[in-house]
Structure 1
């Protein structure tokens, strides 16, 4: 009996990238320990690392820890322009944040992510099968270097226009991120993130029809029905983030993991309350207060991230969900507290059963 066309497409994608199951771990910065990727890769899926906050040496160490298990992707944010600083506004924010956590020193907003050029050199040295981008496109010279080394480039996109730009720039695949996704939205223009909130169900087929390269679906997918639907819409694989966060290998705070299992779609919010970039999290007490009409507006990324660092660290130490950076997609309630390999296997069996 011949394969369903959606399964045949997924099978071709898997053959291209050395997978046995078209299930990819999302590259979540700060929530992709090697153990999680190892478990996903050993189950036939694709491991992933969101390397935004990692030094070059940490990137190389992560890759060496995961490589024996199977294929993986390394992901970097494309840097934003330098943020505009407003000392008076930051002082107001520091006073507001002190209501929820420790006093915020004036220099808290001065920090910056690791050097992007050094990180890209580390990606080349790590020689992963796949390098992916989010928040924009890699410079042409770096794309040329990837292609010269036989490394595939996947671009995370949130609109059809971004997908077309990625294809024109040489991307080998696009990861279509619907607005249901947890964590940061991968919008090229940070200022437009809340205006272009296109859901996965509408975004994936529109991008499939617009580009000639494979499309990976992500955002609000955490169980077999959503994954099978994504393949029916034309995707070649699915990428899952929140759906893996309750796995023991993810190692997130127990209060966060438990809350994900209880969450309904309406229990999440998109805000800039943690980093200054739009991101979807659980609607905790801090998020609700930070998005109230009388709250001071957040500082731009990464200033806001620095200002909230003490709050976020204290919340984890105290196990206090109401102050945690508890990223969550709208399908969080489907996330299972089970080993990641079991989650991959059950997802795939469920997808195949639905698509027979």
Structure 2
């Protein structure tokens, strides 16, 4: 049995069902992200695990104990909120030690644990400061230390990085992941940021409209999406719509040009329409020779993003985005110029689900 076992969890507010039959097992020490757009139900799942929302039905077991109807203070979880939720009238040390004080730990024990937490987050010099004297990144580190001070069974993180600027966000997510690995604490992380989920997680749960769309490793979620929603939500995606010329051999007509798909179209018939998904990094500009699939078109746009150059090529009604690495020694392609894009047969994924 998994360390955290969530079975057939449902939640409704009136007639609105916001979580629909959620099932998930999280192993001890695993880092699992709930990823999806706003309103998909991911934070509601987290709040039910924490005890701040009561499930309409279903089971939540932590380390073998049923906790779905227990109050938050009897679940031994640590939660970090998006807005930090530090007490403004308490020092950093008092904030970190608050849960221990509520648990009536001896003062000496609290002081020792607070010192350990400050060392762990690499901020031992700010113990006597107040939250308003800290940067956003420092406040979030303190919030994490406060959640971990009580030695929770599970750490719950509700979009803890969304209020920070980009550079601090990248740095702090690396710190959170390193800390989680060091402590070996089971962690549920809620985010709408696909890059955060892909870079931090052991597994990802992609959610949409209260449903679980797919559960898998970051590699599986990105490279082998099982539904069209997952394919379009996680990463940038090209959708190539065409007509099947030969289902067995995988020949397809796109923008009046023929391409091939590895493995063909099992269960489909010649003459049917099909939609294929293609990631930008699987495509390159070429001179029109070679064995890969090729489509001819015109450069519609060139976007410079520092290390990456994103190019859009129009092939009749189909627009294809591709990414290439920036090189100071090469010239950017010109808008309106003729171009040929090439991509292997095996990078195409059927996206009709």
TM-score by length of 1: 0.28
Higher Rg: 2
With structure 2 as the length reference, what TM-score do the two structures score? 0.28
Larger relative CO (CA 8 A, sep 6+): 1 or 2? 1
**Higher helix residue share:** 1
Higher strand share: 2
